[in-house]
Structure 1
């Protein structure tokens, strides 16, 4: 959150090049650590903050105006994502699908992505269709 709040702004070209280079370096870091079999989780990398700074800068540079609906949806995804990790792990255990949904990194990633997006979209739709309450102040 602090990286996004800092609002570092580079040119779109610099941000895009930095994002590609940082992502490639982070991928190399992940493959190296995976090869050494020293990591416990596939999501904690030293280069991730640099990737995120470049991504935030690129997104700020591409911003053509604010869409409140996108802000609300992305906030829901941010809040619900950790819960979806827990739900996917628990659901996989109950259904006996731990192999493809937990032990397989790509399967886990896709299941969490799909559940986070679906839950956030459903809540966003439910809230956006709710009638607004008007105050009775004269």
Structure 2
């Protein structure tokens, strides 16, 4: 189940986790939005569930998930308790940097110097920002964090 979420500025540490789990997770600062009215309007316009630590803002939203902790692991636990599925996609689909769609890089294609050769390892490229992703040590760290929730 892929959710459409909007994270306010207090929940930025959750963005990459949610995207790596395949959720469409928009982040307020990526959109240049900090004002509560603008956040609520964007959530309504894009049919997104607001994720926030702000009790009053959550109360004003039609659909919101309130997280209380400042700690990212605890926030992840709160999301799970709220019914947000948190499991890594075996085939990454959402860019961790910009939330754009990922496409598999063909084995005979070239990749930037920082990325592995797609002939030896599966690599995905964001069609929006062109960032490359693969299941390396960061992937393993995120998997371990999610499994420990």
User: Do they superpose with TM above 0.5?
Assistant: no
Higher strand share: 2
If the length of structure 1 is used for normalisation, what is the TM-score?
A: 0.28
If the length of structure 2 is used for normalisation, what is the TM-score?
A: 0.26
Structure with higher Rg: it is 1
Higher helix share: 1
